[in-house]
A and B are shown apart, each in its own frame.
Chain A
Amino acid sequence: MRPAECLSGTILVDDWIAGDIVKPSPHSTGGCFSVGYQVSNSRTGAKGYLKALDFSMIMQTADPMRELQSMTAAYNFERDLLSKCKGRKMTRVVMPLADGNVDLSGHGAIGKVFYIIFECANGDIRAQMAKTSYLDLAWCLRSLHHTAVGLQQLHQSQVAHQDLKPSNILVFEKKGSKIADLGRAHDSSTPSEIDYHPRPGDAGYAPFEQYYSSIPPLGFEARRAADIYLFGSIFFFYFSKCSASQAITTKLRQTPNLNLTNHDFIADMPYLKKAYHEVMLDFRKDVLPIGKGLTDEIVRIVRELCEPNPSERGDRKNFTRHTSQYSLERYITALNILALRVEMGQKR
């Protein structure tokens, strides 16, 4: 067994005790080199989720030293970023409760396991959705509102998430939804290895400009533009069970003999827009039975967020203001109003 898989029962920092392994979290820091645990606090009774980094696997890679350097840098980056988020009181980002390392005897020089303990969630929104075939509109809109707030909190601190997707939005019993996993994030004040990736996040969700580029997004605004596209994709997930990019690519594949270039994003834009508009027609059909009277407003928001051309993405009203066109402020207000309308309707 690898050291990171031997933490069950171990007493950790601040009276946390590691419980059972829950599931490897391949999406997060270190790729397949992390292991997840349920943890509980013997003093407060609080529960948490522990992400342990497994350095032992490094020895099996082609270049262990480079891998070690990369992992360490990623771990430190995420830990520092999380503490920055904590310091700025980002209420809609999953916060670390503690971090540390534990030395496991019997594993030699690689027996040291580094970990971060997070707030314990009920699961991600995929798990929530899988539980029921019925979509609670009020809950869904409130979750979207919380996600928008979380993303705006990150953006205000010059942090772009870059990997926002359903598995990275966690649902809490009383606190609603929060954004998790900053492992692929960009922090304007701290350079990291991820900054050099042309497509930092999941290919299944990434905006189209990232498929074309062999260079990383230029500047924070470009990353922010990608983030709001990813946020729009969360709407797609709720109402259509897929991402915007998956739906658009599907429409492109349905057009006979249509191959996009691999180099000219702007010249291909008409095809992307056409596919996107077809997607929006289907999306509307998916929203209508649930969204009813709110359908037009929901579709309008998504139409602006998932616009394939980043220069036209975002709230048009922001285009003439000093605010960034990728600001989520107006969407936060709109989603709050939509959620309130549904919640009040339910109470009545």
Chain B
Amino acid sequence: MSISLDEKNRLLLPRWLPFETAAKLGEVSSDARLIVQRDSYFEAKKKDWKMYSGLVYAVDLVGTAIIIADFEDSEVKAAAEYILDVSNRGSHLALDIARTYVGIYPDTTKLLDTSSLNRMSLTNSKISATRKSLKYYPRNPILWSDLAYFYAVIGHPEKSGKCMDVAISLSPDNRFILRSATRCYLHANNGEKAHFYLKRSAATAKDPWLLATEISLAEAIHKKSTLVKQARHILESQNFSNKTCSELAGTLGTLEFSSGALRASKKLFHRALLDPTENTIAQTEWMNRTLGIHYEFSLDSIPGVYEAGARILYRGKDYKQSLEYAQQWMDFQPFSSRAASFSSYIASVCLRDHITAIKLIEAAKLSAPHDSTLENNHAFALASLGKIEEAIDVIRKIKVDNLDYMKRNILNATIGMIMYKVGEPIKGHDLYRQAVKYFQNENRKDLASVASLFWGIEESSINKEKGAKILNDAISLAKYSNMEEIREIASLILSPTGAHTENPLSPTEEVQPTSRQKYSALLAHTYTTIGE
């Protein structure tokens, strides 16, 4: 079972969102507001409306009031109400103007409009509508960016990249497009390309949102940002609102944290939290175990705090609520394997609900069909349900050659569990031992504790004493990594009442001896390749 509860290095990279959602979260807002000055024509229009009281005069007055942002005028209000009264004579746009003035236009934008379970059909209909609009408006970069997002959601990274290429060529200096492109290209493992566009844009050095993106991206692709000094200068200048500077302060805080300057990092995070974005809160929550930043906020007060909410509730051991937030995080960032991995971990390990875990992973695989972490968790959940053959099928599809050592060892642990289940405890033991040793060498005590827990459970069915020893190791590793759920499960199994009970995590079916050799042979290639 792989987890992304505490990745080694979380960076404050921008979210990739459809335009409406980004707007709702305030990510496209500018501190400098476009103000159209009132002119003598406006007074003339008021006179005309008073004199003639017709629909055309009313619409002209209300429409102009919207342009000059005068929403307090009683005469204009009366004109807007007149338009609404004679709505049968008005046009769609005239009614739109009147409704907007009196503040009754429908706010149809939802932060989450797709659920992971019906994502495919909804996204396909959105793709169809966006493509139809592009037929008439091919030079609209937002439509291209949204189309890129929708393609990424249904797992077409190549099409997604092509659409984003068009968007950025149409609008290379727009914040929303540049931030979306950054995530799009990163998703396609092409961070260099995103960095090229960010560096090329004149807007990057002037916009705190883009500065934060450039610095985090440079860090992600192991480059040195040349804009850190400029970023500090902008932050000190106090020329921008706290909201606009939130991600920049958080990014610089993360940089300081990486270099070990904890006090400076803490100070910057305090600045970031003056008016935070949901991403800043998620970053703070990730760093908080080390930094110990004291801040208070309610999960309802800031829209989109799904990632932070999932983490906070997980730490508070409210696993059910945490899973709800994690699922929303998945819907919010459907192509994020971290979100899916977190959700499946909570479902499988903390709630012992492998069926839900499988559903979530299958939904996430729509966007990331070849993500090895998700494949691994999928195999784990299937094996835990006793669906050994299906689990092996999933594992055999993973391209082991492309995996780094960490992922290979995570996979080793899962194969180890399957080996135990198919009656090959020696192979299982070797694979688990190899994985745990690697995690400990890499100082990933969290992964080591999870692997040890499942190793201990499997070993207990063969040799109770050996199993108990491994479970005790899992408990001490979990203490170091603050993984309460691991400690609790291991303690439950080791307790006098739980020692002889069934494995609390996996109601495994008995595997027939004839199948053992077959399963072992099927997995042999995979773990031999990993060993190489």
Is A203 positioned at the interface, with any CB of B under 8 Å from its CB? yes
B41 A202 Cβ-Cβ under 8 A: yes
B94 A204 Cβ-Cβ under 8 A: no
B67 A203 Cβ-Cβ under 8 A: yes
Q: Bound complex: CA of A93 vs CA of B52, how far in Å?
A: 26
Q: Bound complex: CA of A254 vs CA of B30, how far in Å?
A: 16
Is B293 positioned at the interface, with any CB of A under 8 Å from its CB? no
Is B317 positioned at the interface, with any CB of A under 8 Å from its CB? no
From A204, A246, A269, contact of B41 by CB (8 A): A204
Is A38 positioned at the interface, with any CB of B under 8 Å from its CB? no
Is B97 positioned at the interface, with any CB of A under 8 Å from its CB? yes
A263 B142 Cβ-Cβ under 8 A: no
A269 B90 Cβ-Cβ under 8 A: no
Known: A26-B44, A126-B57, A266-B173. A257 touches B33 (CB 8 A): no
Is A303 positioned at the interface, with any CB of B under 8 Å from its CB? yes
Chain A residues lying within 8 Å of B96, measured Cβ to Cβ, are: 247, 250-251, 254, 282
B52 A130 Cβ-Cβ under 8 A: yes
Is B298 positioned at the interface, with any CB of A under 8 Å from its CB? no
B39 A241 Cβ-Cβ under 8 A: no
B93 A282 Cβ-Cβ under 8 A: yes
B29 A257 Cβ-Cβ under 8 A: yes
From B30, B45, B176, contact of A260 by CB (8 A): B30
Chain A residues lying within 8 Å of B30, measured Cβ to Cβ, are: 259-261, 268
Chain A residues lying within 8 Å of B33, measured Cβ to Cβ, are: 259-260, 262
Chain B residues lying within 8 Å of A236, measured Cβ to Cβ, are: 93
Q: How far is the CB of B110 from chain A (nearest CB, A)?
A: 11
Is A133 positioned at the interface, with any CB of B under 8 Å from its CB? yes
A277 B56 Cβ-Cβ under 8 A: no
User: Which chain B residues in 34-76 approach chain A with CB under 8 Å?
Assistant: 34-45, 47-48, 51-52, 54-57, 59-60, 63-64, 66-68
> Nearest residue in A to B28 (C-beta to C-beta)?
A258
Is B107 positioned at the interface, with any CB of A under 8 Å from its CB? yes
Is A189 positioned at the interface, with any CB of B under 8 Å from its CB? no
Q: Bound complex: CA of A250 vs CA of B19, how far in Å?
A: 17
Segment at the A interface, from B132-140, B396-404, B457-465: B132-140
Q: Bound complex: CA of A239 vs CA of B93, how far in Å?
A: 9
Is A191 positioned at the interface, with any CB of B under 8 Å from its CB? no
- Counting chain B residues whose Cβ lies within 8 A of the other chain, the interface size class is 35 or more
Chain A residues lying within 8 Å of B41, measured Cβ to Cβ, are: 27, 202-204
Q: Bound complex: CA of A66 vs CA of B139, how far in Å?
A: 47
B93 A286 Cβ-Cβ under 8 A: yes
A240 B93 Cβ-Cβ under 8 A: yes
Is A31 positioned at the interface, with any CB of B under 8 Å from its CB? yes
Is B355 positioned at the interface, with any CB of A under 8 Å from its CB? no
Chain B residues lying within 8 Å of A337, measured Cβ to Cβ, are: none
Is B203 positioned at the interface, with any CB of A under 8 Å from its CB? yes
> Nearest residue in B to A244 (C-beta to C-beta)?
B93
Interface size on A, residues (CB 8 A): 60
Main DSSP-derived SS at the A contact region: helix
Known: A270-B176, A277-B137, A282-B96. A203 touches B60 (CB 8 A): no
Interface string of A89-133 (1 = CB under 8 A from B): 000000000000000000000000000000000000011011001
Is B114 positioned at the interface, with any CB of A under 8 Å from its CB? no
A256 B56 Cβ-Cβ under 8 A: no
Known: A257-B25, A262-B34. A270 touches B203 (CB 8 A): no
Is B177 positioned at the interface, with any CB of A under 8 Å from its CB? yes
Is A62 positioned at the interface, with any CB of B under 8 Å from its CB? no
Q: Bound complex: CA of A26 vs CA of B44, how far in Å?
A: 6
A242 B32 Cβ-Cβ under 8 A: no
Is B233 positioned at the interface, with any CB of A under 8 Å from its CB? no
Q: Bound complex: CA of A167 vs CA of B45, how far in Å?
A: 10
Q: How far is the CB of A210 from chain B (nearest CB, A)?
A: 9
A130 B56 Cβ-Cβ under 8 A: yes
B23 A256 Cβ-Cβ under 8 A: yes
Known: A211-B34, A243-B63, A257-B25. A277 touches B107 (CB 8 A): no
Is B405 positioned at the interface, with any CB of A under 8 Å from its CB? no
Q: Bound complex: CA of A255 vs CA of B141, how far in Å?
A: 17
User: Which chain A residues in 281-322 approach chain B with CB under 8 Å?
Assistant: 282-283, 285-286, 303, 309, 312
> Nearest residue in A to B55 (C-beta to C-beta)?
A241
> Nearest residue in B to A128 (C-beta to C-beta)?
B56
Main DSSP-derived SS at the B contact region: helix
User: Which chain B residues in 89-122 approach chain A with CB under 8 Å?
Assistant: 89-94, 96-97, 100, 105, 107, 109
> Nearest residue in B to A256 (C-beta to C-beta)?
B24
B66 A261 Cβ-Cβ under 8 A: no
A270 B92 Cβ-Cβ under 8 A: no
A246 B63 Cβ-Cβ under 8 A: yes
A257 B63 Cβ-Cβ under 8 A: no
A204 B137 Cβ-Cβ under 8 A: no
Chain B residues lying within 8 Å of A312, measured Cβ to Cβ, are: 139
From B40, B54, B57, B143, contact of A274 by CB (8 A): B143
Known: A247-B93, A250-B66, A255-B23. A130 touches B40 (CB 8 A): no
Chain A residues lying within 8 Å of B34, measured Cβ to Cβ, are: 211-212, 259-262, 268
Q: How far is the CB of B304 from chain A (nearest CB, A)?
A: 12
B66 A253 Cβ-Cβ under 8 A: yes
Is B434 positioned at the interface, with any CB of A under 8 Å from its CB? no
Is B175 positioned at the interface, with any CB of A under 8 Å from its CB? yes
A257 B24 Cβ-Cβ under 8 A: yes
B142 A241 Cβ-Cβ under 8 A: no
Q: How far is the CB of A277 from chain B (nearest CB, A)?
A: 5
> Nearest residue in B to A255 (C-beta to C-beta)?
B23
Is A172 positioned at the interface, with any CB of B under 8 Å from its CB? no
User: Which chain B residues in 383-438 approach chain A with CB under 8 Å?
Assistant: none
> Nearest residue in A to B35 (C-beta to C-beta)?
A262
Q: List 19 A-B contacts (CB under 8 A).
A: A167-B48, A203-B41, A203-B42, A204-B45, A242-B63, A242-B93, A247-B93, A253-B100, A254-B107, A259-B30, A259-B34, A260-B30, A260-B33, A260-B34, A261-B34, A262-B32, A274-B19, A280-B137, A282-B93
18 additional A-B residue pairs with CB within 8 Å, beyond A240-B91, A270-B170? A27-B44, A203-B38, A203-B64, A204-B45, A204-B64, A242-B93, A246-B67, A250-B93, A256-B23, A256-B24, A261-B30, A262-B32, A267-B175, A268-B30, A270-B140, A274-B142, A277-B143, A282-B93
Interface of A toward B, CB cutoff 8 Å: 23, 26-27, 31-32, 126-127, 129-130, 133, 166-167, 202-204, 211-212, 236-237, 239-243, 245-247, 249-251, 253-264, 266-271, 273-274, 277, 279-280, 282-283, 285-286, 303, 309, 312
Interface of B toward A, CB cutoff 8 Å: 19-20, 23-26, 28-45, 47-48, 51-52, 54-57, 59-60, 63-64, 66-68, 89-94, 96-97, 100, 105, 107, 109, 133, 136-137, 139-143, 170-171, 173-177, 203
